Structure 1
Amino acid sequence: MTAIKHALQRDIFTPNDERLLGIVNVCKAGKKKKNCFLCATVSTERPVQVKVVKVKKSDKGDFYKRQQTWELRDLTEVDAKDASKENPEFDLHFEKVYRWLASSTAEKNSFISCIWKLNQRYLRKKVEFVNVSSQLLEESVPSGESQSVAGGDEDALDDYQELSTREEQDIEGMMEMCEYAISNAEAFAEQLSRELQVLDGANIQSIMASEKQVNILMQLLDEALGEVDTIEGKLSSYEEMLQSVKEQMDQISQSNRLIQISNTNNVKLLDEIQFLVNYMDLSKGHVRALQEGDLTSPKGIEACINASEALLQCMNVALRPGHDKLMAVTQQQLLFAELRDTFARRLTNHLNNVFVHQGHDQSSTLVQHTAEMSLPKHSPLHRDLLRYAKLMEWLKNTHREKYEGLSRTYVDYMSRLYEREIKDFFEVAKIKMAGTTKEAKGKFATLPRKESALKQETESLHGSSGKLTGSTSSLNKLTVQGSNSRRSQSSSLLDMGNMSASDLDVADRTKFDKIFEQVLSELEPLCLAEQDFISKFFKLQQHPTVTPPLASTTQKDIVRLMMNKIFQSIETELNSLIALGDKIDSFNSLYMLVKMSHHVWTAENVDPASYLSTTLGNVLVTVKRNFDKCISGQIRQMEEVKISKKSKVGILLFVTAFEEFAELAETIFRNAERRGDLDKAYVKLIRAVFVNVEKVANESQKTPRDVVMMENFHHIFSTLSRLKISCLDAERREAKHKYTDHLQSYVINSLGQPLEKLNHFFEGVEARVAQGVREEEVSYQLAFNKQELRKVIKEYPGKEVKKGLDNLYKKVDKHLCEEESLLQVVWHSMQDEFIRQYKHFEDLIGRCYPGSGITMDFTIQDMLEYFSSIAQSH
């Protein structure tokens, strides 16, 4: 226990300026045995503090640590359980009772005795000791005993003292004088003992010799002890005085602590009051603005905005615990709620009146501005209403029902206003669009007319969309402007339209394109401005850094829903306008497809999810459907083409029409976003042209099939080469191939007739050679001897050949049409073919009739002159 006591003093109490006076090894009674030490300590500084400290080994077991500390003045009772029997249990009564079990009764009694002595010396409030043996308790504490408690135990802290340097030197000198001091310790100890006895005897003799001096010394000691007792008495009285001073200081300290607590509470109370005053007090000016502020003037609106924000800040202040139980706070909250409701009603009524007035406003109708064909601008209204945007945000945060009610009112009345304006705007557009055709036909004498008459005329023009079949195809109308013969031969094709071709010219279509572009250009800023206003006024903007994605999506949906209700007539009117344009001229679908695609692309770049991009995208589907219907109509009309049996075919009407369609489409679709749609239509049309050219060529009775194929595919090849349509490169090469093949076929078939007998003769010669007859022996064949050859050659003198070629030229001229100008090309090809046959005949004569001297009646130079003179004569 001594070692533990030294360790505790060194490691725990000395660093804290404390002395360990008593220690006991204990564990808690009635629980699992966990040993610890209870230590009685006093401080080394004044005033002395006496404590009971619980010390426990750490979990690792390598050092001790304080676990709990009690002031000895807080100890009210010590219960030893049994005064007559040995019992290691005892209780200490502090703020609660702690029950302990000592490792031995002796340690317990020693610890209780130490507590009693400390209580007697340092505490005025005595501790009650119960069931403690009287032997342990002393009636009073003698001075010596007190010193024992205060100082004796302090000396006992070190039972072992190290040797001084001088003592070490003396011991070493003794050991050096005795040689066996180290090897024979017992002999050395006996020697030391003998010397000690000698010295003791000498000391006794010396003392006895100095008895008188001893008596004097003892007397002096007795006097000193008396002085000590006197001093101790005075010290005890001083200590009692200091003890009373200590109690008074303790009371003063306690009083100061209470004063400090009071001051702290007052500061906190003042802070709470200042918090409530600063954050829950609304100025009289703000109250007046909320109750009767002017909502029509800019200054009044600004005052109302500031007051509403201040009110919202007061209502949303985060109250601290307990504030809601204060009567003043409750009354202030009721006042705020009443002000909020009052101002919300005033604001709602005012904005309702503004919306209703604007919805019934007739001053902005379009009838007064028919000539401009422009939609009224609502920027002044938006500018005026945006002054209330912050108030709308306040209403959204405080009165959601009134906010949503205002939203519905705005949508309801603005939809009526926009419906009137958009309807008038589209009526004027339809009148102008219909006027493009009517002016061409000379049926509109004067403009403007009365609105009712114009409206009736427009309705009669556009009719129902279900009756628009695209039968007025410009593919047929444009081709009517050819030669009279072609117009007469293709009259059945023109009969499929319900308007004359002269009505549809470039200026007419350009005017329609401008009208349609103006319609879209007016609608686009109108929708974008209204959507921007709705987002700002009703606070539906998307904030990516603040608003979660889900909330942003919801706000977009709300804006789109409001726009759909406000502009519910736009899509219907656009579809009606598109139907009218398609009925006037199915080629208008090309213009509409390009314009609509461009505006859809522009709107999607601004906002892909906007109302404008969605609506225009829906209408674009209708326009694309009309475009496809137009292409299908052209193909169907190609298939229904009938040709005259009595006149030559020439360049087919739909071939020329395709050329004009391609020229027009290339002009319209230059740099267009939907070029791919046109390329697909080109492929469909050109394949239909190929198929139907072949069909007409097969059905032709007046004109040879090769001529029909040759002329029309030559025209197609020239058109595709000139326009350089990249998606039709394969068709261009195919057209050239077909033209070349049918030109060669026509030339070969036509040239066989002028020298028919000569051709038959040499065919027989070639047949004999093919059967195995040697070429030089052919002349010995009866049917192919020299006399027969001369007879056949005499039938084709130069004049007859020229006459036959002249007849051939006239026949070719009858077959070919003037528009394509292929006569000279064909005639030159026939010349080449004739020369080739002539050389072939000469070669056969040279090989099969060698040395006969037989020649043709005309030479190659004669042939060239024949062909040249015949071509010049015609």
Structure 2
Amino acid sequence: MAASSSEDGELRRACAAAIGGGGSKENIVLAIRVAKGRGILEKLGRVAKPRVLALTTAKNSSKGQRAKAFLRVLKYSSGGVLEPAKLYKLKHLTKMEVVSNDATGCTFILGFGNLRSQSVTPPQWTMRNIDDRNRLLLFILNMCKEILGRIPKFVGIDVVEMALWAKENTPTMNSQGNIQDGPAASVMMQRDLKVTVEKDLVSQAEEEDMEALLGTYVMGIGEAEAFSERLKRELLALEAANVHALLESESLIEEVLQGLEAASVCVDDMDEWLRIFNVKLRHMREDIESVESRNNKLEMQSTSNNSLLDELDKLLARLRIPSEFAASLTGGSFDEARMLKNVEACEWLTGAIRGLEVPNLDPCYANMRAVKEKRAELEKLKNTFVRRASEFLRNYFSSLVDFMISDKSYFSQSLDKNCLGPLRKAYCHSLNLLLRREAREFANELRASTKASRNPTVWLESSTGSSQTGNSTDSSTVSEAYSKMLTIFIPLLVDESSFFAHFMCFEVPAFVPPGAPANDTKNGSDGNDANDDDLSLMDSNANGNNSSELGTLNEALQDLLDGIQEDFYAVVDWAYKIDPLRCISMHGITERYLSGQKADAAGFVRKLLNDLESKLSSQFGRFVDEACHQIERNERNVRQMGVLSYIPRFATLATRMEQYIQGHSRDLVDQAYMKLVSTMFVTLEKIAQSDPKYADIVLLENYAAFQNSLYDLANVVPTLAKFYHQASEAYEQACTRHINMIIDIQFERLFQFARKIEDLMYTITPEEIPFQLGLSKMDLRKVLKSTLSGIDKSISAMFRKLQKNLTSEELLPSLWEKCKKEFLDKYESFVQLVAKVYPNETIPSVEEMRDLLASQ
């Protein structure tokens, strides 16, 4: 033991150096060498690891607090130096167990309660001899008693043997305990080994009785059976006394049971109250969220209102008509003194009218009622001023011509350039009335002679019968009438422009004669395109000196032909009322005539064609806007199931629009497709979200109907092909969501179990997963039993659920196949997880599940 003492002192100093290197203030009570994993591991051929166990105490700085006790594990580094390996708190020690498989009794296990939640087997420690084992265990026992106020559980340890050993080895251990670790360690060593062992394990009287009993047992080996019988009789007497005591305390037990029953009633009442409070709190939380949502909407509405007021102020400033300009335009005289004010009023009116047109005005304001009314008011002012000015000029020209005719000496001056201006104006005014009357009479006769039934403008209204769109009447005569109007009057207007230029002595380049090659080949015409309607002026840039003269000519042509465009507009409006889709073919006809006019054609004719093209685009845009409005009205209807009415009707509309293009430009129709289909998809999503329970069913049925109805057109129209693919993707997404929902209804526990396993595999190994809470093999078997027993009924339930709310029966076979494939994919992933985590568990194979699904 002396060598052991010397060795223990050196070991304590080495341990103190290892622990002190980390800045620890712990006192080492005992340090002893052990082997980790010896005993059974040696039989298995594994090498035991040398370790050092050190019992330490740390004094708490706060007054009134007990000292803390620790068990430190130290290991040897590659250089043979001790270094800390693990630290255990003795307050968590619950069990000291000697391994029964080790015949020497030197191998034991220390069980710590805080290790229960971990899937780790407590390490085994093997001492060099029984004395070292008893030393360590007694030290731990006394430290737990004195510092923690409790002792751990003994398993496989003879307490009497430990007490006798402690009594025999007390002097030796006392001598080892007086080390330089301070008074705390010294007191622990001396008092705990000498007093605590005798006092706490057994008292002096109990020790004497035990010694006498053991002495009797040793001296009288032949009396063992008698001794055993005696002990059995005493045990039976003690048990009878215990039963009697229990019977006597029956009333107390009943009182306790009654108290427990009353407490249970109180707990049930409290549970009910808590449930009520939980409901009220949930309602209160929903009310708070609703209030917050309304507050957010009010703030957004306030910000929007302020921005709207600013915009309206700017718009009102543009809509105001100065009183002095209104007076000049409606009732002012044309005297020379007031002519400057009249011109200023005309310039303001022109700018105001242009300012209310779409290029200069935000398109969102174009259809506002106030803007329309102000535009009509400005047009009325313009018409009033034009009527007054025309009357003044007519009287002025008449008097001027009469004066020139009556005075022959003055008539000779008319050949002078300075005298041509009044004559040109008189000619333009007189011929303008004739041309406008001819155009009006021709347009009226044309409309009266054209027989065409009016087609409905309501194409996508949900309340409109299908026969209204499916049996549309032929309205080709409308386009033919418009084409005839252009065929007759466009060459006439060009000819009148040419004659006026020559007759009124304008020094401008000659017109290109019919059939001659044109210098300008842009706007869709080539060198071989000789159109009889194409009488145009030569490029004014060929002779810079004539540019001002050409400008004067175009102004005169405006006076000559102005007003005739109203009859063309009337034909366009008449055609729109009969069949709005005819705007497509008329737009193409206008593009063909416009491409036939060179850049420097008679200015008024080209401007007229441009205005007609813009008006047709605007009219067709109005039809598209109305159709979009009809689609959006479906959103406000009651809950809708099945295919929405506007899906098949759009296919009919698109088919007819393609018929009206007839080789012309597609831009107008493609833009309409983009606006209509976008509105259809947005409205469909809103209708679906109005009832989230059936949202995916509504989406997949309508997107499937959209694809079926537009399959042929999508193969030849790129714009529709893009939306066809968009509908296909949305259909697949809705199918996937709906199918997963149906699968989860029947097999939620099975695949939820799989998701838990997948989540844990990111952090721990598969072998550790069966030891986690809720993921044991027993839990797996329970899940398999609850979900896969009666699997054929669950599969039938999935089919019925898929069929229940589906109105399009033709979609059921494909959806059921998708559902079975999705279920097999999920189940295959589950089988792979089980094979990896629970290799010995048997579950139905993927092939068996596939055969079962195929039989349904």
TM-score bracket for the superposition, by shorter chain length: 0.3 to 0.5
TM-score, normalised to structure 2, is 0.42
Larger Rg computed on CA atoms: 1
TM-score, normalised to structure 1, is 0.41
